[in-house]
Amino acid sequence: MKIRRAAVSAMLEHARNDQPNECCGFLLGTLDTIEEVTRATNLTPSPNRYQADPRDHFGVIRQARREGSSVLGVYHSHPAAPPVPSASDLTHATYVEYVYVIVSLLQAPVVDQIQAYRLTGGQFKPVELVVEDEEIEER
């Protein structure tokens, strides 16, 4: 799956701004490309939990329809852990069609990682993300 560099930067910025708590948001795009991200309110601010506000979820669905795109998935951060799904992440994952991106803010030597997953057979399976620079296009 492709992801725009600006979307990666926006997720990392959101994660840094919300630490030490997890942040969360939504991934928008078309088919196989994450074009942009939209922040969501974390209803359970915590260093190891998140719950995206359902009002934000409905809002991003409306936004995607207006823009002619789709909600491709969700992202959240792991402020002090690797970008590997936790047991809680698996328990709360319900959309098999979504991509789940985890942003990690680990300190050196491994810094600022992202990893994507899909929910398949009740388990998370890694999805390769290819970061692409922006292309100039008119909407």
Output phi, psi for 23, to 5 deg: -110, 170
Residue 137 has pLDDT above 70, yes or no: no
Find the mean pLDDT for residues 33-62.
96
Confidence of residue 25 (pLDDT cuts 50, 70, 90): very high
Whole-number pLDDT of residue 5: 94
Out of 49-53, 100-104, 134-138, least confident range: 134-138
Whole-number pLDDT of residue 138: 42
Q: Which residues pair with 132 in a beta bridge?
A: 4
Find the mean pLDDT for residues 66-70.
94
Residue 111 burial by CB count (10 A; 0-12/13-18/19+): exposed, middle or buried?
A: exposed
Averaged pLDDT score across all residues of the chain: 91
Contact 37, 25 (CB under 8 A): yes
Find all residues with CB under 8 Å of 19, minimum gap 6, and list them.
77, 79, 105
Superfamily of domain 2-132: Cytidine Deaminase, domain 2 (3.40.140.10)
Domain limits, the chain = 2-132
Confidence of residue 77 (pLDDT cuts 50, 70, 90): very high
Q: What is the dihedral of CA 80, 82, 86, 92, to 10 degrees?
A: 90
Residue 136 has pLDDT above 70, yes or no: no
